[in-house]
Structure 1
Amino acid sequence: MSKPKLLYNREEMLKLNIEVLQNRCNVTVMDIATIAHQQQSKYYKGVDIKLCIESVEKILTFRDVFHHIQFAAEVDRLAEEKMFKGPIQDILYYDLGLFGLDETLGLDVARNYGAIGQTNFGDIDVNKRGVVARLNEDGKKDGVVHTLMDDIVGAIAAAASTRVAQVMNEDLALENPSYQKISLFDLKNSKKGK
């Protein structure tokens, strides 16, 4: 008996994540990028949606995010099919407000971009922007469970939003005429000269 495939490269993870988001909850990269774009447009004029799309796609290649998406999609599906036993079935099925594991998973995804990523996730989670609002509303319909996935989608948007801000700030720093870009090799060579 051959061992099942357990490890995936970045390209495979991106492809599988896009498929799961589409098939499980009808969410596209553009849906998530739109949330990141809206969030960052409050702070920066001229945010390029292409940068938001690139940021979402980058995050969808992270191994931890891959595990979060795959796990959340399956837990929601199993709850939807009423496959759990005991109190957890109803807690997941009806998305109990006091159940905090969905937010904990979301915070873990947003944590890829530090405290600002987590703050951005809190904003998206509370204000239910874009597709997150649709997932939240759909999850209230009988027979539909998005208990974990609405938070995962919001967290990906938050991480992407934070990455957009970081890239834009790096671009602003490069505009400073006194800024001198150096590489690790430059630092290594300067230590040798001492």
Structure 2
Amino acid sequence: MNMWFSSLFLVAGLFLSCSAQTVEECRPLITPLPTFEPSYGKWIFIMGWIDSEPFKVLFRSAKSQWIHFRETPGQPKELVEDIGISPTYCKYGSSPVTLHMNTAITDKTNFSCTYHSLPTCEGCLLYTVNSRNNNNLLPIMNITNPTTIHEVKGYRAFYLMARENHVKHYELVRTMKTAKCLGFTGEPDFLYDPENSDFSQEREGVRGQSELSTK
């Protein structure tokens, strides 16, 4: 196993055993940045948590995930393209995003997501996500259990992304402390393994396009 990937599990163990953060310690970690600034280019998912069991399964099945922020011609900001890599195939999707002060909002037919950006290291992105989904997703995911339906209709998530496929050890620890302050417990639901291949080049030029506008 990759040495860096192994260290993530060591940090995860530290995260599980560390004491709860105080309100004073948590405040600077979880206070959103005053503006949500576009950060163009490719960002690799390093780790993340999600509080919905059905989406945890999907999240954990991905060996590699990345997101591409791209400026839209004629627009002052960007479009967003998500690409998730499962164990056997690549999944691609794009979403329009609207920026309003310190919030980014994705609103599509099947779901809406609200994003806030938190303090993190240079070359990193740290997002909280609140998602609301409608009933259209239930038959697609073959879900009938009432408890599971509730977890599909709404969930919270927390992601660390970076330009490179690794971050400093202290930033991993800081991110895990932030996760705990936000109420996410246990090991991350996703940990990036640098040994997994990057399928992004295989889809060069085959991208969904959607605009991001500002209010």
**Bin for the TM-score computed over the shorter chain:** under 0.3
Higher RCO structure, 1 or 2 (CA under 8 Å, sep 6+): 2
TM-score (structure 2 length as normaliser): 0.22
Decide which structure has the larger Cα Rg and report it: 1
Please, what TM-score do these two structures have when normalized by structure 1? Answer: 0.23
Q: Whose strand proportion is higher, 1 or 2? A: 2
Richer in helix (by share): 1
